[in-house]
Amino acid sequence: MKSLVQAVVIALTLAAPVAVFAQSNQPVTRAQVREELVQLEKAGYNPGRWNPNTYPYDVQAAEARVAAQNSAVGGVTSGSSQQGRAAQ
C-alpha cells in the first residue's frame, strides 16, 4: 500500500508541470508576431542578413536585449554584447 501511495505522489509530481504549461499556451496572433519582429529588428537583428554560422546567436542576443528593455527590474538597455565566438 505504501508503494502505491508513493507511485501516485510521484506521478502527480511529474504531471503537475505539464498541466501548468498546457494552460498557459495561448494562440499567437499575426500582429503579435509582427510586433515581436519589429522589436527584434530595433534591437539589432536583421533577418535579411541571415548567416547559418551566427543565426542562433544573433537572434538570442537580440531577444536578450528586448527582454532587458522590457524588464521592469532593469538591465542593460544599450551597449554591446559579446558572444564568445571568434571574430570573422
Model confidence at 5, pLDDT cuts 50, 70, 90, reads low
- 14 is written with which cell numbers? 511529474
pLDDT confidence band for 71 (50 / 70 / 90)? confident
DSSP assignment letter at 43: T
- The reported pLDDT for the residue numbered 86 is 55
pLDDT digits (tens, 9 = 90+) for 29-44: 999 999 999 999 999 9
Say what the pLDDT of residue 63 is.
93
Q: Are 85 and 57 in contact (CB under 8 A)?
A: yes
pLDDT reading at 17 higher than 70? no
| Residue extents of the structural domains in the chain | 28-71
Residue position matching grid coordinates 542576443: 61
**pLDDT number for residue 26:** 86
Helix, strand, or coil (residue 81): coil
